[in-house]
Chain A
Amino acid sequence: MKRDRNDRKTKLPISWRQRCALCALPCAVGVLMFSVIPFLRVIYYSFIKSQFIREFVGLDNYISVLKNEYFRLAMKNSFILVLHGVVPLVVIATFLALIFMEEAIKKGKFPLFYVIPAAVPTAAVVSIWRKFFFWCDNCAAIDVLFIWKNLGLAMILVLVVLVSIPKEIFEAAKLDGADKKNIAFRVSLPIASPMISFVFLMGIMNSYKIFKESYLYYGTNYPPDYMYTLQFYMNNNFAKLNYQSLAVSAIYTMILCVLFVLIAAVFIRRYNY
């Protein structure tokens, strides 16, 4: 009898697939508990009047947030930031990647040195920015900080693709009489364009994180109007415990993000096929 039980133990009562599921379970439960379920509650919050009066109000919250002038300012600034922060970032990163390409192919190594700014904590470098950009009364200071932090990583990402282009393609282009400029614009860039759109997407995502930079730079929850981005709006609503407008603006942001991701995905697809 005892032996029988031992046998069963060596055979293991649960199957391989069940054990796989068991492995996945702890983390999956964690994600559900800390992200997914609270997220559903946020959606619920966005449709009720307040936490205390749990009355369904339809889209009222959505409309009142849209009417809020600070929300509109924050949205506008977040959009403009893409123009004057992310676009230069991508252009400069691509340009630098083209320049570093030849050497990277020759050495077979990436200049990882340039990624350091992305790793250095923002709070540590922001004091130097404050010291040298005190004269600056527009968003240039934050833009420069943003580009400084993200440029190296963006360049490396483009570089990885450029280096992986087979040599034969360049040789064929040379045989056809293309000069360096032609090769760059007609060969390298089109091949790297899915990665460039990915870098663009990443830049947009990082531009949402710019709150950290500007909060530390200005040291206040009420920065000048031109730097008032979405996270400031949400932070100030956090301070007021205004869950309804917080929930609504989170959902608006999410919709925007999904749109961006979809557009980028379409771009990446189109170039891939």
Chain B
Amino acid sequence: MRAARKFIAAAFAAIVIIPIVLTIALSFWNGAPSLKPWEELLFNCFVFYDGFWNSILYSVAITGLQLLVAIPCAFGLCMLNTRLSKVFVFVCFILMMMPLQVTILPMYIGLRDMRMLGTRFAIVLPAVFSAFGIVVLYLFMKRIDIEQVEAARLETSSILRIIKHVVIPQIKLAILGEAVYVFVESYNMLEQPMLFLDDDHLQTLAVFMSRMSEFSDDILFPAAVLFMLPILVGCATFRMKSLGGGISKKFSRTIPAVVLALIAILTVFAKDIHYSSLTTVKTISLGIKSFDIDEENVERHYAMPYQFSKYNVYYVVDNETINKEERNCLRQVYIKLGDVENGYCPVLNNDYVGEPIVVRTTGTLSDGQEVVVVQRD
């Protein structure tokens, strides 16, 4: 009986951990064990960094701001205890129970009317003012010691001070739990950025991953590993903290900082490392037209050899790729097409200058094909 119980526990643990371990293992696999997928992701796929930092930014902003507004709100509602405040909490409770399918359309309409669609606020603000935080904190605050609050009122008249010194210490664990939940949920967010944003520079990692899956499985696994890294590091440090000890306490702060710092360094230098591995291609470039639209805002127009549409896929390849016989283009680029004149004049932003850009609908290139090279000045 005891052995059976142990076996089930071990099996459950294995089921929990195997998909995660496999993801990590497969990120080092490219037909044979190799670092190629990682190289591809870190030094050849810059859209990844945008998504990663956007995801972190949104989740940190949402968690912080939500605690900032929801704690005073829950405390205020708790103290007021009038009919109106109770009705409001009930409305929040109903909103909290609603699945995203129900609430996302109201969110969309609200954001549209406030002209926030397509901005970062569209992601952050609705999540900050979510009913969930209010209800959970309200329920916990109902259980705190009112007499302590009354006693504190004799000492100070500042409500914020009472919240800081009397209320928060009593429900610290509940607040921590709520913060973790909100962080995880907003880090995992997919529907909102997909529907509320159309600028790729603002998009989150989850949306990038869903798009990347269309063209390359290779870089998907390293991207997945980096995507879950903050969460896994968080879990590990939490575990260390619960085990206690002075050293682990020190570690629990430094490890997340080190991980984020490493990714930040890569974000800054990956492009330079990428460029340093390129040699200049001169021959294949086609009718490049470069001119200024107005004095301050310099934009380049490049004449493309043939008609293309907004829905074509663009690949950035390195020069080696162009000069070999047949190859796969791994990196997909989303270029914002500005004023497309007669269908064949895209506006490339300066991020892509210096990289050969191929306009094709599939991911392979063979010799003799026309490739547009945007030369760096």
Q: Using a CB–CB distance below 8 Å, which chain A residues touch chain B?
A: 12, 16-17, 19-28, 30-31, 33-39, 41-42, 45, 96, 99-100, 102-103, 111-114, 116-131, 148, 152, 205, 208-209, 211-212, 215-216, 219, 230-231, 234-235, 238, 243, 246-247, 249-251, 253-254, 257-258, 261
Instruction: Give the residues in chain B near A127, CB-CB below 8 Å.
Output: 23, 209, 213, 217, 220-221, 224
The stretch from B66-74, B250-258, B313-321, B328-336 touching chain A is: B66-74
Contact present for A208 and B101 (CB under 8 Å)? yes
User: How distant is the Cα of A231 from the Cα of B194 in the complex, in angstroms?
Assistant: 13
Distance (whole angstroms) from the CB of B62 to the closest CB of chain A: 13
Q: Which residues of A contact B76 (CB under 8 A)?
A: 20-25
Query: Is B232 engaged at the interface, CB distance under 8 Å to the other chain?
Result: yes
Inter-subunit contact A116/B8 (CB<8 Å): no
| Contact B187–A250 (Cβ < 8 Å) | no
User: Can you list 20 residue pairs at the A/B interface with Cβ under 8 Å?
Assistant: A21-B76, A22-B76, A24-B77, A31-B130, A31-B134, A34-B107, A34-B110, A35-B103, A38-B106, A99-B9, A100-B9, A114-B12, A121-B206, A124-B23, A127-B23, A131-B217, A208-B100, A212-B190, A250-B101, A257-B99
Q: Chain B contacts of A33 at CB under 8 A? A: 110, 114, 129
Given contacts A20-B159, A23-B72, A121-B227, contact A31 B232 (CB under 8 A): no
Most B CB within 10 A of own CB, among A23, A27, A34, A208: A27
Asked if B19 CB lies within 8 Å of chain A CBs, one says: yes
Main secondary structure of the interface of B (DSSP, over half): helix
Which of B15, B74, B101 sits near A253, CB closer than 8 Å?
B101
Q: How far is the CB of B53 from chain A (nearest CB, A)?
A: 15
Task: Find chain A residues with CB under 8 A from B74 CB.
Answer: 24
Q: Which residues of B contact A20 (CB under 8 A)?
A: 75-76, 79-80, 159
Given contacts A31-B92, A250-B105, contact A152 B195 (CB under 8 A): no
Beta-carbon contact of A34 and B129 below 8 Å: yes
Please determine whether A27 and B134 come into contact, CB atoms closer than 8 angstroms.
Answer: yes
Complex Cα gap A258–B231 (Å): 33
CA distance A99 to B184 in the complex (A): 28
State how many angstroms separate the Cβ of A18 from the closest Cβ of chain B.
Answer: 10
Q: Give the top 10 A-B pairs by smallest Cβ distance, nearest first.
A: A30-B129, A24-B76, A27-B73, A23-B76, A38-B110, A208-B99, A38-B106, A124-B224, A23-B72, A123-B209
Rounded to whole Å, the gap between the CB of A218 and the closest CB of chain B is 9
Check if B105 sits within 8 Å of A247, measured CB to CB. Answer: yes
B12-50 to A contact mask, C-beta < 8 Å, 1/0: 110111011011001000000000000000000000000
Known A-B contacts A128-B19, A208-B100; the reply to A24 vs B126 at CB < 8 A is no
Q: Given A27-B70, A127-B221, A212-B191, is A250 in contact with B102 using a C-beta cutoff of 8 Å?
A: yes
Residues of B within 8 A of A38 (CB): 105-110, 113
Q: In the complex, are the beta carbons of B105 and A42 less than 8 A apart?
A: yes
Q: Give Cα A28 to B75, complex, Å.
A: 12
- A253–B99 Cα distance when bound, in Å, is 8
A253-B102 contact given A24-B73, A27-B72, A37-B110, CB 8 Å threshold: yes
B13 x A114 contact (CB < 8 A): yes
Q: Which residue of A lies closest to B210 (CB)?
A: A216
Known: A38-B110, A121-B228, A126-B209. 12 other contacts (CB 8 A): A21-B80, A27-B70, A27-B72, A30-B69, A35-B110, A114-B16, A117-B19, A122-B188, A128-B23, A205-B97, A211-B101, A253-B98
Min CB distance, A143 to chain B, in Å? 14
* With A23-B76, A28-B73: A148-B15 Cβ-Cβ less than 8 Å: yes
Q: Mark B78-100, 1 if CB is under 8 A from A, else 0.
A: 01100001001001101101111
Interface string of B105-142 (1 = CB under 8 A from A): 11111110110000000000110111100100000000
A162 shortest CB reach to chain B, Å: 14
Instruction: Give chain A residues whose Cβ lies under 8 Å from the Cβ of B130.
Output: 31
Interface residues of B in 204-249 (CB under 8 A from A): 205-206, 209-210, 213-214, 217, 220-221, 224-225, 227-228, 231-232, 234-235, 239
Q: How near does chain A come to B161, taking the closest CB pair, in angstroms?
A: 12
Q: How far is the CA of A100 from the CA of B6 in the complex (A)?
A: 9
Q: Which residue of B lies closest to A122 (CB)?
A: B188
**CB < 8 Å neighbour of B184 from A30, A119, A230:** A119
Q: How far apart are A109's CB and chain B's nearest CB, in angstroms?
A: 8
Q: Which of B157, B210, B213 contacts A12 (CB 8 A)?
A: B157
**Bound complex: CA A71 to CA B146 (Å):** 50
| Residue from the list A37, A152, A209, A216 in contact with B209, Cβ < 8 A | A216
Known A-B contacts A30-B125, A253-B102; the reply to A124 vs B225 at CB < 8 A is yes
Closest residue of A by beta carbon distance from B55: A121
B209 touches A231 (CB 8 A): no
Which of chain B's residues have a CB closer than 8 A to the CB of A12? 157
Give every chain B residue within 8 A of A258 (Cβ-Cβ). 94, 97
